[in-house]
Each structure stands twice: as structure tokens, then as C-alpha cells.
């Protein structure tokens, strides 16, 4: 289960494209960061089953595979979460969404062999060069082989950003995000109108006709075709689990907008923000948990019975913010900010597209706690902080906020230096980028370890004060 926010280029403060998503499943699901090298002369098929994935989906390998990055599950190295390739296309997937029972009755998911979120990053990043191409290729796969589950996927490049939603086992709709708007989603189908003649939309070939034929849409009584209404689930589960997340994102970006938090079907699909969005806004949204309200499940003591599901949950295994700045070389213009574990208690670390190596700690980590993997360095800190969130979380927030601010200033300096070096030596520029990026990653991990020790000291004193075992005033 996930939450997604996408900003068109004219909806961001600096003209960049911004795509962010939290990936939520299990707090024991360690993530790695992988750089996949370009390959030539390939034959054969990609196989989900061969990697220990969820089903037996297969797809032909491209003869020449592009270099790309992913953030996969530790166990299978699949479900790549997000990444960029050397051509400049990036994607994040997937946002789990659900077809209605009526739609699945006439076009069920192809659970045994259809494409799932396990496969999307590795199948598309190795071959697609643009956002439009990525959305179209995924759509062709869904129509030809079916999807094994429902999902939404964002695609971004240097000119535009697209989002694709599945409707049923073989039906889908993709939309180019209008440049001056943002799109927010939380585990539900959000798209509504569809114009087959529009160059800003793509869909399965008989999307509307199929809905009419199978009784999912009646033009005479339903009016204009509504993709979400025809194909996707909308019931009481959305009222507290999904709608409030979309509501809070739209409220934070459009404060004057008045909407009922449980009226998700009527929320605008695209909105122009009242103040143009930034990377910091995207990070803040990924960290949101209704702080300061009665629906905050952490600030008033841990409350697992809170009905509103926040964006930042403890079982988030990573959250990311992708940025594309078309005016810069891809190596520094495309960045993924990665927060391992629960975003609210983590730090967003920049991974530049031009980074040529990844620390060993980012290729370690399983479902068992350890002291070496990057994932567990952050997860251990988060687990400890959650034992007294009101007291300990502010310490983590303050330290990570300072680190992100300092890193942002250092990034600006590094990028200026990179451009100067690149003018005379590609190798020198690449080396400078690597050194900087690896230093930032190492410093973030060290800070997490330092904070862990600080919080352990505090909790040790707390417990001693609670259970002193003193002989009156003496500790003898």
C-alpha cells in the first residue's frame, strides 16, 4: 500500500518535475539500492519466477539493455520501487489500486502470469527511453498478457510526466499530468474522464466499449464516461484508509480548498497548487501523519485503532522523491532522494543519476536486524524512537532536518563544481560526483548511528528512573 504525489513542471517552484511515493508493506522488508549495468547482445526472457517473484510472468529481454537503477526487495531483488535509466526516463511503481468486483467478474486479474509490481521496473527501465514510451509499453503488456494485480505507475523524463492506472485484468488508462498541476493518489483509482482523440491520454483499445458491453457503464444513465466509476473499487474502505491521505495532500497544497475528508470520488483529479511545490514539500507530504490533529496515531501515544490511515506509517519500508531538472546534465539533473524505513523518522538521502557505485551497506539487509546494512541502521533508530514518540521523535526530526538543509547547500556547491569540471574533463566531473555522493550517504548512516546511541542513553535513564530498585535512598 502506498501514497503518490506528482508535480508537473510548471507546478514546481524551480520548473523541475517532482514525483514522490511511499512504499508500504512490512517494516521487516529491507531494501537495497542497485545499479544495473547496460548489456548488449541479450537473448531470452525476463522471468519473475526465476528470481523468486510472486508468479510466472515472462517477457522478452531487449537485445541491448540500458543502464538503470532500482531499489528492490532484499529477498528477490525485484519490486524495484523506482529508478532512472541512462536515457533519462524514470519511474516509480507501484501504487496499489483495486478494481471493482463487477470489473473483475468480467475481466479478472491474471494472477499466475500477468505483470505485477515485482516486474515493472526491471522490464521497463532497461528498454524505454521516454515517459510516454514507458506508459505505452506497460499498457501493451497489460493488454496482451494481463496484470496480476491492480496498480498505478508514474513515468517521468526531461519533457513530461505520465501516470498509468489499471482498471481490470486487461484494461488501463494513462494520462499526461498537465504541466501546471499536481496529481495525488492513495491506493485508489483516481482518473475519470477519457478522450480517445487526446494526445494527452492513452488507454486500452476498447476501454469504453468493453465497459458498455459488460454493464460497467451505461451512457444513457451514467452520463459522461468515468474510468474510476466504471472500473475501480470505491467503498467504505476508501473513506478512512484512502480518502484522508488524498485530502490532506490537497489541503496542504491548496489550503483554501474546502472538502470533506471522506468524499474521495469528488476530489479534483488535478489541481494547480496555490504555492508552487518544492522537493521539501514532497518530503513533508511523505512524512505526513496528521500531526497536530486528533487523527495523529503517534503524537498522543501509539494508537493502532486510529481509523484514518496516515501517509507515513511505521511499516513504510522506503519513501522516495524523484526530481528531474531538464536544464542540467542527466548525471546531476536527475536525483532520487531515498528515505529508508518510515519517512517521518528517516532522512532523505540524494542519489544522483551519475553515481557509479553504491556503498556495500546498501546491498545488505534481510528480514532480520543487523548492524551493517543501511536499512537496519535507520530502522533500528525508528523502532527505538517509537517507544516514546512524543519525547524522542523531535530529537530525530531536528537532527535530520539540519542534515538535509546542510546537504542541500552542499549539493548546490557540488553541482556548480561538477559543471565546471565537466567542461574540461568528464572523468574528473564523474569522480567529483561519486566522492560527494558517497560522502553524503556515509554521513547520513553515521548520523543515524549517533542518534541511536543518544536515544538509547535517554531510554536507559528513563527505565532506571522507572524501576530504580533502591533501598530507600541508597542503591546498595
Instruction: List, in sequence order, the alpha helices (H) in 114-234.
Output: 120-124, 131-145, 207-213, 219-222, 227-231
Instruction: List, in sequence order, the alpha helices (H) in 423-466.
Output: 426-466
E strand or H helix at 244, and its extent?
A: helix 243-253
Strand partners, 464: none
Residue among 234, 128, 180, 124 at smallest CA distance from 11: 180
Buried b (16+ CB within 10 A) or exposed e, 255-292: eeeebebeebbebbbbbbbeebbbbebbbbbbbbbbee
User: Measured at the alpha carbon of residue 228, what is the angle toward residues 225 and 234, in degrees to the nearest 5?
Assistant: 135
Instruction: Reply yes or no: is the peptide bond before residue 94 cis, omega within 30 of 0.
Output: yes
Among the listed residues 2, 82, 126, 128, the single catalytic one is: 2
If DSSP codes are grouped into helix, strand and coil, which group holds residue 449? helix
In the chain, count of helices (H) and strands (E)? Answer: 13, 16
Dihedral of CA 413/419/420/424: which sign?
positive
Q: CA 76: distance to chain centroid?
A: 19
- Grid cell 543519476 — which residue? 353
Strand partners, 183: 6
Spatial distance between the Cα atoms of 359 and 357, rounded to a whole number of angstroms: 7
- Grid cell 519473475 — which residue? 48
| DSSP string for 277-333 | B-HHHHHHHHT-S-TTSTT-SSBTB--TT-SSPPSS-TTEEEEEEEEE-TTS-HHHH
| C-alpha to C-alpha distances, 5 to 17, 159, 287, 315, 369, nearest whole angstrom | 11, 18, 12, 19, 31
Q: Is 2 a catalytic residue?
A: yes
Just list the catalytic residues. 2
Amino acid at each position: 500500500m502506498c501514497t503518490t504525489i506528482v508535480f508537473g513542471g510548471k507546478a514546481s517552484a524551480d520548473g523541475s518535475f517532482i514525483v514522490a511515493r511511499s512504499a508500504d508493506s512490512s517494516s521487516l522488508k529491507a531494501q537495497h539500492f542497485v545499479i544495473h549495468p547496460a548489456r548488449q547482445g541479450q537473448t531470452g526472457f525476463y522471468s519473475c519466477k526465476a528470481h523468486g517473484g510472486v508468479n510466472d510472468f515472462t517477457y522478452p529481454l531487449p537485445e541491448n539493455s540500458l543502464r538503470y537503477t532500482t531499489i528492490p526487495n532484499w529477498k528477490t531483488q525485484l519490486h524495484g520501487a523506482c529508478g532512472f535509466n541512462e536515457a533519462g526516463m524514470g519511474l516509480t511503481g507501484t501504487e496499489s489500486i483495486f478494481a471493482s468486483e463487477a470489473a473483475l467478474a468480467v475481466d479478472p486479474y491474471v494472477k499466475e502470469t500477468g505483470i505485477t509490481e515485482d516486474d515493472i521496473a526491471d522490464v521497463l527501465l532497461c528498454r524505454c527511453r521516454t515517459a510516454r514510451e514507458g506508459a505505452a509499453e506497460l499498457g501493451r503488456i497489460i493488454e496482451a498478457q494481463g496484470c496480476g494485480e491492480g496498480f498505478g505507475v508514474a513515468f517521468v523524463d526531461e519533457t513530461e510526466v505520465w501516470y498509468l492506472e489499471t482498471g481490470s485484468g486487461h484494461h488501463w488508462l494513462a494520462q499526461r499530468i498537465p504541466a501546471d498541476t499536481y496529481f495525488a493518489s492513495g491506493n485508489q483509482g483516481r482518473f475519470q474522464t477519457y478522450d480517445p482523440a487526446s494526445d494527452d491520454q492513452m488507454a486500452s483499445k476498447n476501454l469504453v466499449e468493453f465497459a458498455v458491453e459488460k454493464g460497467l457503464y451505461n451512457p444513457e444513465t451514467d452520463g459522461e464516461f468515468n474510468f474510476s466509476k466504471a472500473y475501480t473499487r470505491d467503498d467504505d474502505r476508501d473513506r478512512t484508509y484512502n480518502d484522508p491521505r488524498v485530502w490532506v495532500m490537497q489541503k496542504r497544497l491548496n489550503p483554501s480548498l474546502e472538502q470533506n475528508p471522506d468524499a474521495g470520488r469528488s476530489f479534483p483529479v488535478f489541481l494547480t497548487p496555490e504555492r508552487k511545490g518544492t522537493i521539501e514539500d514532497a518530503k513533508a507530504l511523505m512524512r505526513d501523519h496528521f500531526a497536530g490533529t486528533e487523527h495523529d496515531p503517534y503524537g498522543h501515544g501509539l494508537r493502532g485503532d486510529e481509523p484514518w490511515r496516515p501517509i507515513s506509517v511505521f511499516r513504510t519500508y522506503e519513501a522516495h522523491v524523484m526530481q528531474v531538472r531538464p536544464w542540467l546534465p542527466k548525471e546531476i539533473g536527475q536525483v532520487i532522494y531515498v528515505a529508508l524505513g518510515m519517512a517521518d523518522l528517516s532522512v532523505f538521502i540524494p542519489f544522483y543519476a551519475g553515481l557509479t557505485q553504491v556503498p556495500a551497506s546498501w546491498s545488505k539487509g534481510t528480514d532480520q536486524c543487523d548492524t551493517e546494512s543501511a536499512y537496519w541502521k535507520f530502522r533500528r533508530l525508528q523502532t527505538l524512537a517509537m517507544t516514546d514518540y512524543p519525547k524522542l521523535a523531535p530529537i530525530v526530526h531536528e537532527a535530520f532536518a539540519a542534515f538535509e538543509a546542510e546537504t542541500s547547500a552542499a549539493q548546490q556547491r557540488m553541482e556548480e563544481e561538477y559543471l565546471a569540471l565537466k567542461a574540461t574533463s568528464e572523468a574528473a566531473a564523474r569522480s567529483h560526483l561519486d566522492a560527494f555522493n558517497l560522502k553524503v550517504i556515509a554521513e547520513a548512516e553515521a548520523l543515524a548511528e549517533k542518534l541511536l546511541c543518544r536515544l538509547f542513553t535517554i531510554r536507559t535513564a528513563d527505565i532506571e528512573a522507572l524501576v530504580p530498585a533502591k533501598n530507600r535512598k541508597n542503591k546498595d
